[in-house]
Amino acid sequence: MRGIAPGPARASTEQKGSRAHIPALTFSRTAGRDRPSRRSRPIVVVRQAPRQALEGALQMLEDQAAMGRPHVDGPRDGRVRKDKARAAAPAGQKPRLGLPRKREVAGAAVLALLAYPIGDARADEYAAEYNWSDRTVEATDGNPGRRTRVRGPIRTQDDWAHAVTAVDFGATDITDAELHTAGNDAYGVYFSGAAGLSITGARITTRGDRAHGLGGFDQRGDDLPDWAYATGGELRMDSGTITLYGNRAHGLHVVGATGPIHLGAPMSQAHDTTPASAARPDAPVWIFGKGSHNTAIHVTANRNVTFNGVRTILNGPSSTGILATQNSTVTGKNLWLYSQGNDSAGLDVSGRSACAVKNGETRCDPASTTVRITRGFIHMQGANSPAVALQRARAHLSDVSLMTGPQTPYAVGNEAGRFRFEGKDTRATLKSYGTSLRAWADSPDESAVFSFKRAEVHSASNTLLEVVRLQGAAPQRPGQTYYTMLTLDDTLAEGDIHGMPQSRAHIQLANGSVWEGHTDIGGHVRIDGSSTWAMDGNSAIDAMAMADRATLRFVESHGRHDGAPRFHSLTVRDGLEGNGRFEMRTHLARGLADSLDIRGRAHGSYAVLITDHSLPGERAGARAVPIVRARQGDASFALENAGQAVDVLGHRYTLKKAETATGFVWSLETDDALPDAPADGGDPREQPGTGDTPGQADDGEDRGGSSDTTGAHTTPEDGETAHGDAPPDKAETEGKDGGDGATAIDAGGALAAALDKDGGDAAPAAQPSRAIRNALVNNGGIASASTLWTAAMRPVESRTRTLRATPMDALPAGKDTGIWIRGIDTRQHLHQADGEPYTESLWGYTLGADRAVDVTAGRWHLGVTASQVDAQRRFDDGKGRTSAALFGAYAVLRLDNGAYASVAASAGRYRNTVQARGSAFDDPATGRFHHVGAGIAIAAGHRLDLARGWFVEPHAGLSYFRAGPARYTLSDGTAVHDRGGHSLQSQAGVRAGRAIDLGNGDIATPYVRANWLREFANRGAIHADGASLGTDLSGNRFEIGLGAEAEVGRRHLLYADIEVGKGRHVSHSRAIVAGYRYRW
Give the pLDDT confidence of 428-471 residue by residue, as tens digits: 999 999 999 999 988 888 999 999 999 999 999 999 999 998 87
Distance of alpha carbon 773 from its chain centroid, rounded? Answer: 26
DSSP string for residues in 258-311: -S-EEEES-TTS-S-SS---TT----SEEEEE-SSS-EEEEEES-S-EEEEEEE
Instruction: Examine the domain organization and report whether 733 and 797 are in the same domain.
Output: no
565-609 pLDDT, tens digit each = 889 999 999 999 999 999 999 999 888 999 999 999 999 999 999
561: Cβ contacts below 8 Å, ≥ 6 apart: none
Instruction: Write down the pLDDT at residue 283.
Output: 81
Amino acid at 937: A
Residue 299 has pLDDT above 90, yes or no: yes
In a domain, 725, yes or no: yes
What is the per-residue pLDDT for 478? 67
Does one domain contain both 713 and 823? no
Which pLDDT band, with edges at 50, 70 and 90, does 278 fall under? very low
On whether residue 128 sits in a domain, the answer given is: no
Distance, in Å, from the CA atom of 793 to the CA atom of 797, rounded to the nearest integer, reads 6
Quick one: pLDDT at residue 248? Answer: 96
Q: What is the pLDDT of residue 671?
A: 83
pLDDT band at 176 (very low <50, low <70, confident <90, very high): very high
Clarify whether residues 776 and 732 are in a common domain.
no
Higher pLDDT, residue 888 or 675: 888
- Examine the pLDDT at 39 and tell me if it is beyond 50: no
What's the pLDDT at 20? 34
Q: Which amino acid is at 792?
A: A
- Do 798 and 741 lie in a common domain? no
**What CA–CA distances, in Å, run from 1027 to 295, 423, 770?**
56, 47, 12
Mean pLDDT: which of 660-674, 723-737, 767-781 is highest?
660-674
pLDDT of residue 360: 73
CA dist., res. 980 & res. 992, Å (int): 38
More confident residue, 1035 or 424: 424
pLDDT in tens, 733-768: 333 333 333 333 333 333 333 334 333 333 344 457
- The CA distance from 945 to 949, in Å, is 7
In a domain, 667, yes or no: yes
- Specify whether 707 is located in the same domain as 783: no
Question: Both 740 and 810 in a single domain?
Answer: no
pLDDT at position 896, please? Answer: 83
Q: How far apart are CA 954 and CA 951, in angstroms?
A: 10
* Percentage of residues of the chain with pLDDT beyond 90: 50
Q: How confident is the model at residue 658 (pLDDT cuts 50, 70, 90)?
A: very high
Q: Which residue has the higher pLDDT, 547 or 722?
A: 547
**pLDDT of 104 over the 80 cut:** no
Three-state SS across 625-673?
A: EEEEEEEEECCEEEECCHHHCEEECCEEEEEEEEEECCEEEEEEECCCC
pLDDT at 10 over 50: no
Domain assignment present for 297 = no
- Residue at which a domain ends, from 756, 781, 809: 756
Q: Report whether pLDDT(281) > 80.
A: no
Looking at the fold, whether 860 and 893 belong to one and the same domain comes out as yes
Dihedral, CA atoms, 555, 558, 562, 564, nearest 10 degrees? -50
Arithmetic mean of pLDDT, 960-972: 88
pLDDT at 79: 43
Q: Give 753 or 912, the one with higher predicted confidence.
A: 912
**Is residue 21 one of the residues assigned to a domain?**
yes
Average pLDDT over residues 61-73: 45
In 3-state terms, what secondary structure has residue 935?
strand
* Least confident interval from 392-396, 668-672, 698-702, 870-874: 698-702
- Rounded Cα distance between 55 and 178, Å, is 28
Shared-domain flag, residues 911 and 1040: yes
- What is the rounded average pLDDT of the residues 811-815? 51
Instruction: Kindly report the three-state secondary structure assignment for every residue of 495-531.
Output: CEEEECCCEEEEEEEECCCEEECCECCEEEEEECCCC
Could you say which DSSP state residue 72 is in?
T
The per-residue pLDDT for 1035 is 83
Q: Give the pLDDT score at 618.
A: 83
pLDDT band per the 50, 70, 90 thresholds, residue 876: confident
Q: Where residue 907 falls among pLDDT bands split at 50, 70, 90? A: very high
- Average pLDDT taken over every residue of the chain: 79
Residue 1004 gets the label, from left (phi > 0), alpha (psi -120 to 50) or beta, of beta
Helix (H, G, I), strand (E, B) or coil at 821: strand
**Distance in angstroms (rounded) separating the CA atoms of residues 747 and 30:** 106
Q: How many residues would you count in the chain?
A: 1080
The residue from 99, 120, 141 where one domain ends is 120
| Distance (Å) of CA 460 to CA 49, 139, 409, 434 | 70, 53, 11, 6
- Residue partners of 902: CB distance under 8 A and separation at least 6: 800, 804, 890, 891, 892, 893, 938, 939, 940
- Does the global pTM surpass 0.85? no
DSSP state of 476: P
The residue out of 704, 732, 756 marking a domain boundary is: 756
Distance CA 672, CA 736 (A): 18
Least trusted range by pLDDT, from 286-295, 415-424, 943-952: 943-952
| pLDDT value of residue 501 | 86
- Kindly state the DSSP code that residue 413 receives in the 8-state scheme: E
Over 50: is that where the pLDDT of 2 sits?
no
| Residues 789 and 917 occupy one common structural domain | yes
Who has greater pLDDT, 257 or 419? 419
How many structural domains comprise the chain?
3
pLDDT tens figures, 816-855: 788 999 999 999 988 776 667 888 999 999 999 999 888 8
Task: Find the radius of gyration of the CA atoms of the chain.
Answer: 41
Q: Do 854 and 988 belong together in one domain?
A: yes
Residue 804 lies inside a defined structural domain of this protein: yes
C-alpha 1029 chain-centroid distance: 30
Q: Is residue 360 helix, strand or coil?
A: coil
**Does residue 986 sit in the same domain as residue 1045?**
yes
752 and 775 housed in the same domain? no
Domain containing 38: what range? 17-120
Report yes or no on 145 lying in a domain. Answer: no
Question: How far is residue 1013 from each of residues 958, 1007, 1032, 1035, 1038, measured CA to CA in Å?
Answer: 9, 20, 16, 8, 6
Q: Does an H or E element contain 796, and which?
A: helix 781-805
Q: For 336-358, what is each residue's pLDDT tens digit?
A: 999 999 999 999 999 988 998 88
More confident residue, 49 or 103: 103
* Nearest Cα residue to 2 out of 27, 41, 39, 43: 39
Mean predicted confidence (pLDDT) in 530-544: 95
Tell me how far apart the alpha carbons of residues 294 and 318 are, in angstroms, rounded to a whole number. Answer: 7
**Which residues, in sequence order, are bridge partners of residue 398?**
374, 422
In a domain, 466, yes or no: no
Long-range contacts of residues 503-512, Cβ cutoff 8 Å, at least 24 apart: 503/439, 503/441, 503/467, 504/542, 505/439, 505/465, 505/467, 506/357, 506/360, 509/533, 509/550
Q: Check residue 806 and give its pLDDT.
A: 66
pLDDT for the residue numbered 422: 97
Q: Which of 588, 669, 667 is nearest to 628 (CA)?
A: 667
